[in-house]
Chains A and B, each alone.
Chain A
Amino acid sequence: MNAIKVVEEGYKRETPNFRVGDTVTVNMKVKEGDKERVQAFTGVVIGRKGSGTRETFMVRKISYGIGVEKIFPLLSPMIENIKVIKEGHVRRAKLYYLRGKKGKAATKVKEKAFSETQQ
Chain B
Amino acid sequence: MKGIIGKKVGMTQVFTEGGHLVSVTVIEAGPAKVIQKKAKDQDGYEALQLGYEEIRKEKNVTKPMLGHFKKVSSPAYRLLREIKMEGFNEGDNITVDIFAKGEKVSITGTSKGKGFQGVMKRHHYKGGPGSHGSMFNRAPGSIGSSAYPSRVWKNKGLPGHMGDERVTVKNIEIFDIKKDQNLMLVMGAVPGPNGGYVIVKSEAALAVKES
Instruction: List chain A positions with a Cβ less than 8 A from chain B.
Output: 1, 3-4, 6-8, 10-11, 29, 52-54, 73, 75-78
Q: Are A6 and B181 in contact (CB under 8 A)?
A: yes
Tell me if B93 is interfacial: C-beta within 8 Å of chain A.
no
Q: B13 an interface residue at 8 Å Cβ cutoff?
A: yes
Cβ contacts under 8 Å, A11 to chain B: 14-15
8 interchain pairs (CB within 8 A)? Answer: A1-B10, A3-B26, A4-B10, A4-B26, A11-B14, A11-B15, A53-B15, A53-B21
Confirm or deny: B17 has a beta carbon within 8 angstroms of a beta carbon on chain A.
Answer: yes
Report yes or no: B9 in contact with A3, Cβ–Cβ below 8 A. Answer: yes
Which bucket holds chain B's interface residue count?
A: 10 to 19
| CB pair A76 B12 closer than 8 Å | no
Are B21's CB and A73's CB within 8 A? Answer: yes
* Chain B residues with CB under 8 A of A77: 15, 17-19
User: Residues of B with Cβ closer than 8 Å to A?
Assistant: 9-15, 17-19, 21, 26, 28, 178, 181, 183, 185
Is the beta-carbon distance between A4 and B9 smaller than 8 angstroms?
yes
Q: In angstroms, how far is the closest chain B Cβ from the Cβ of A80?
A: 11
- For A7, A10, A53, A78, the residue with the greatest tally of chain B CB atoms inside 10 Å of its CB is A7
Report the minimum CB–CB distance from B16 to chain A (whole Å). Answer: 8
**Neighbouring A residues of B17 by C-beta, 8 Å:** 77
Do the beta carbons of A3 and B178 come within 8 Å of each other? no
CB distance from B28 to the nearest CB of A (A): 7
Given contacts A1-B10, A4-B10, is CB(A76)–CB(B15) below 8 Å? yes
Contact B10 A78 (CB under 8 A): no
